Chains A and B, each alone.
Chain A
């Protein structure tokens, strides 16, 4: 029997839960309310039982816990088997995954095996009705995502198949405020994982804590391809430093090698909502603008007065950034005294 459960696949690495998974519990709470269902977390791993408390704190009503030594490291086939078995057994309405390198490896594999729909990189999820070929479907998951390089927003539905599944990038959904008094039910599940699925060996894993925190930054100073070179990008770093902000970059600047990928702002990088966003030498590709237009204040500096970025900026300065940025720093320093 199909339930009204909204599931969130919980990604954890050595016992640390990925932020996106907690964010998805927040969204799942909203969706479950609409469906009058509950929020369930799916937690595969080894030695992860202690994490269930956190999942309740952030909105889970139920946790499907699959705690097996064999699941210590994520590899595709055993994890896909676990989630597929759980879905077949407990029949959720919706399953959400973080659009991480793990979620994007796992979710399509599961969708293919179950022959259900999957929408990648949703930026919004809603519940609504849908009519197709004179048939009415109620309480369908609207899976809303950008496509065509961010130039269109498509609403995708999967009316006839269950579960409805989607991946969502980190930083797009908001976590519930933590409530340590919340409690829930833990369902321990023992998965049968045949040895023929244990065929990927993790030889080495290297992972650094994020050194760049664009998502939480109040001020972001971003440079585009118009900055001209990695050397010139020092100006962007300098301005970010005096303002106490993070350094960002457009995809073009990242592709050109001016700045590392972890600094990339936009739909294909990090979606940001700072108080101040300074876009310097960024012409304004839609996929970039859609990832920063929620900033409270946008200052654009560009030598081209017709650059699209000015259309969404609150303040525009037309000029050569090599001249503008040092002058701006000088004025800021003098006013700060």
Chain B
């Protein structure tokens, strides 16, 4: 547990979008999917997921509908809207730019300066 990283502010929304982009998921499923695709490296408080989901629904990036889960329980499933898919693309690109920039800044060696 201790080697899990704290989420940077604002990144939860991006992770949710990415998780849902791989197929419709219910809330707990989103959590599992994020764990799965991030190799369980991120610490996410379970309850904190929901305000994020609601925010994305309100922004029209996700849509929600009730269905039945693989456990045969009623659950609310989320999937990407067209706007959501677009936003995911843009946010991903922007994140990559940021990550590359910070990565190369941190990797800079004295002789390169």
Tell me whether A and B are bound partners: no
